[in-house]
Amino acid sequence: MFELRRFRPDDDAELTALFADPATRLWNPGPADGGVAAWRESIDAPSDEHRTWAVDDPAAGGRLVGVVSVFAVDREQRRAEIGFRTVPAARGRGVAAAAAAAACARIAAEGLVDRIELFHAVENVASCRVAQAAGFALVATVPANYRYGDGELHDEHLHRRDLTR
């Protein structure tokens, strides 16, 4: 239903709407105003540290509906983290869960790491639901673990998915 692909210059309108969204600015901020094209170009190519994909909706003419990233790749520990964002107009259709599952499949096929972790603020219930739907089990609640877009430290849930099973 949804596909992972490289970014394109005509994704910038959707990326601009995504990064202007209050929930995105709070829980997973992007570049400062005006920096979308530079962000897209910098994030598009796979690197030692991350793989980041545009999430594409073929039924909507190939428009970008989200972003998913596997980052903080640690080849020695064979672990990485995952994050996701869904364009506001495309929410409520399971985009992030499908994208996270597809990203895990890509990483497993590549043999890059053995486990992927997801941290989200405890208050970010949508992210918790996405994690569970994509096979990331809740393993811990970590007090005051990350300073989010409001400048405040928030308790976080740590979810983990084992790619070897």
Ligand X SMILES: CC(C)(COP(=O)(O)OP(=O)(O)OC[C@H]1O[C@@H](n2cnc3c(N)ncnc32)[C@H](O)[C@@H]1OP(=O)(O)O)[C@@H](O)C(=O)NCCC(=O)NCCS
| CB 24, min distance to ligand X, A | 4
Cα end-to-end distance, the chain, whole Å: 24
Single residue of 70, 95, 104, 134 touching ligand X by CB under 6 A: 95
Question: Which range in 35-43, 44-52, 83-91, 135-143 contacts ligand X by CB under 6 A?
Answer: 83-91
53: contact with ligand X by CB under 6 A: no
The answer to whether residues 138 and 114 touch, using CB atoms and an 8 Å cutoff, is: no
125: contact with ligand X by CB under 6 A: yes
86: contact with ligand X by CB under 6 A: yes
Could you tell me the CA-to-CA distances from 130 to 9, 30, 82, 118, 138 in Å, in that order? 28, 20, 12, 10, 12
27: contact with ligand X by CB under 6 A: yes
> Strands 79-86 and 115-121, how do they pair?
parallel
| CB 69, min distance to ligand X, A | 10
94: contact with ligand X by CB under 6 A: yes
The answer to whether residues 104 and 161 touch, using CB atoms and an 8 Å cutoff, is: yes
96: contact with ligand X by CB under 6 A: yes
Is residue 161 exposed (0-12), middle (13-18) or buried (19+ Cβ within 10 Å)? Answer: buried
52: contact with ligand X by CB under 6 A: no
55: contact with ligand X by CB under 6 A: no
**How many residues contact ligand X, by CB under 6 A?**
22
Instruction: Name the residue among 136, 150, 151 with its Cα closest to residue 23.
Output: 150
130: contact with ligand X by CB under 6 A: yes
Given the complex with ligand X, which of 35 and 149 has the nearer CB atom? Answer: 149
The answer to whether residues 31 and 78 touch, using CB atoms and an 8 Å cutoff, is: no
Task: Read off the amino acid at residue 153.
Answer: L
What the block records as the tokens of 104 is 């895990």
Q: Which residues contact ligand X (rule: CB under 6 A)?
A: 23-24, 27-28, 83-86, 91-96, 120, 124-127, 129-130, 133
